Amino acid sequence: MLITREELALHKVTVDQTYPAGAVDYPKFRQTGPLRVQAVAELVEGEIRIRGHLEACMEAECDRCIAAVEIPVAQDFDLSYRPVATIAREEEIEVPGDELDVGFYSGPGVELADVIREQTILSLPMKRVCRPDCKGLCAGCGANLNVEACRCRQPADDSPFASLRQS
Ligand SMILES: [Zn+2]
Ligand SMILES: [Zn+2]
């Protein structure tokens, strides 16, 4: 859904939309349940401002054992987008600290799916483990140490008796 500057010039746009599982694609995550976004978009001093809330159920791989980890997402957002043409002019102007949520858009407006994707990824934790004490995979044999024993065999030369046998 494209939120255009042209339409916002006439009236606010209210969004209440549910995307089915998998509708929004992510590089390293799967959207496993419906994603609902409720938002209001308006034009404020030439910027497109989008405020709202999104909820989704995401899934990622455990950092240690690559098992699927479910991550519920509930994120509020309040974002402003400037047309990209103004960057050049404002390049030298310092962006005040409270404007960190300002983004840029090119073309007629802002694609809602892009906003949702970005906000969802921002809300995900940096470390994703299936459980706090996940033992992960053995670097040698690849065994999932949560459910099986390491299959790595001690190389024969590492045996403390190797030198005895040679003498
Ligand atoms: Zn794990
Ligand atoms: Zn092993």
Strands 35-44 and 30-31: unpaired
Ligand 2 center from residue 146 Cα (angstroms): 12
Q: Which ligand is nearest to the CA of 65?
A: 1
Whether residue 165 is found in the same domain as residue 127: no
- According to the model, what pLDDT value does residue 49 have? 96
Q: How many domains does the chain have?
A: 2
Quote the CA–CA distance of 144 and 142 in Å, as a whole number: 6
Quote the CA–CA distance of 158 and 40 in Å, as a whole number: 66
Whether residue 88 is found in the same domain as residue 161: no
Other C-beta atoms closer than 10 Å to the C-beta of 52 total 21
Grade residue 99 by pLDDT with cuts at 50, 70 and 90.
low
Whether residue 142 is found in the same domain as residue 84: no
Ligand 2 center from residue 143 Cα (angstroms): 6
pLDDT greater than 70 at residue 128: yes
Name the residue range of residue 7's domain. Answer: 2-134
This prediction's pTM: 0.74
Ligand 1 center from residue 146 Cα (angstroms): 8
pLDDT in tens, 48-61: 999 999 999 999 99
Q: Which ligand is nearest to the CA of 129?
A: 1
Q: Return residues with CB closer than 5 A to ligand 2 (ion).
A: 138, 140-141, 150, 152
Torsion angles phi and psi, residue 101, rounded to 5: -85, 15
